[in-house]
Amino acid sequence: MIESKSQIDEAASRISLLREEIGRVIVGQQTVVEQLLWCMLAGGHALLEGIPGLGKTMLVRTVADCVSLQFSRIQFTPDLMPSDITGTTLIDFSAQGAAAQRFQPGPLFGNLVLADEINRATPKTQSALLEAMQEGTVTAGGETHKLPKPFFVLATQNPIEQEGTYPLPEAQLDRFLLKIGVDYPSREELKQIVLRTSSVEQPKASVVMDGESLAAIGLMAKQILLSDELLDAAVKMIMMTHPGEMDAPEDIKRYVRFGAGPRALQAIVAVSKVRALSAGRMHVTWNDIRETAFPVLRHRMVLGYEAQAMGLSSDRMTGAIVQTIETQR
């Protein structure tokens, strides 16, 4: 239980220290780092979308180094089989010739798993990952094995290259707590990247937190207060993503085929509490809900053909919902 404001301040200070340590290695991308920390502290998985070369793999590895988590990287390809990521059952023979089965864990058995180019794997392999993300277990050879805790899947995908890819099904997309967009660096950030990577001494991240501390801060975030008024606003936001809702914005009614489900509401509440804690507050504000709505809803609204032809994004739909609610408040 949270007993004093000093506990909140200490947790916020530790989150800030973690953010700064990541910044020693990663140039810019403050929003990406911030949202990634929200996701992990809320105990969820994240989908990072951006073109190759923007440092997504380095970011995930740096976070693992800073939090002293076991890092595991899986390069997804069309020929990747479920057993390649979950593990397989081997048969060992003793000196006397007796046979015994032994499970050899796959790369999923880590604390922080980077699923690189996740949409290149076949649906069969993606379904094996889905069980791990949802249940925290792996089934192989008829036996179920528990994954280590904490367990985070940070997946990446390329938004522009669609050759040889298998789009993630909506059920799997919904398991990702946040979808985080990774953008180009600015001019000054590009200069800093070159200066850091071309020098003799490469910056390295230090351990500033362990898995237990990460879990403790996440548990503290769950105790942050959320008023009934703001909970109602979050519920209204989710309902407005449905085109059949009477008070939904016109953009939603025209361009959205299917809206967000209950997991979206759970995600907004959980991530808003983490954002409030990282700011040193004991309560959630409307700004927390508004800012977390974009990465939460980005992959949970299915746009129609007209919206896709016009190049419209889910962020535009979320912006229309936020504007409507703020007008009514």
**CATH code of the domain covering residue 257:** 1.10.8.80
**Domain limits for position 319:** 224-329
pLDDT for res 161 = 59
Is residue 146 included in any domain, yes or no? yes
Domain count, the chain: 2
Domain identity same for 57 and 168: yes
Domain identity same for 9 and 140: yes
pLDDT for res 229 = 93
Domain identity same for 165 and 237: no
pLDDT for res 238 = 94
Say if residues 68 and 75 touch (Cβ distance below 8 Å).
no
pLDDT for res 3 = 60
| Alpha-carbon span 90 to 2, nearest angstrom | 48
Domain boundary among the residues 193, 221, 249 is at 221
Domain identity same for 192 and 228: no
Calculated CA dihedral for residues 39, 42, 43, 45, nearest 10 degrees = -20
Q: What is the pTM for the complete model shown?
A: 0.87
Domain identity same for 194 and 234: no
Domain identity same for 115 and 149: yes
Is residue 209 included in any domain, yes or no? no
Q: Which CATH number goes with the domain that contains 157?
A: 3.40.50.300
Which stretches in the chain have pLDDT values below 50? Answer: none
Is residue 130 included in any domain, yes or no? yes
pLDDT for res 1 = 61
Is residue 35 included in any domain, yes or no? yes
State how far the alpha carbon of 139 is from the alpha carbons of 147, 151, 174, in Å: 10, 16, 21
Based on the number of CB atoms within 10 Å of its own CB, is 103 exposed (0-12), middle (13-18) or buried (19 or more)? middle
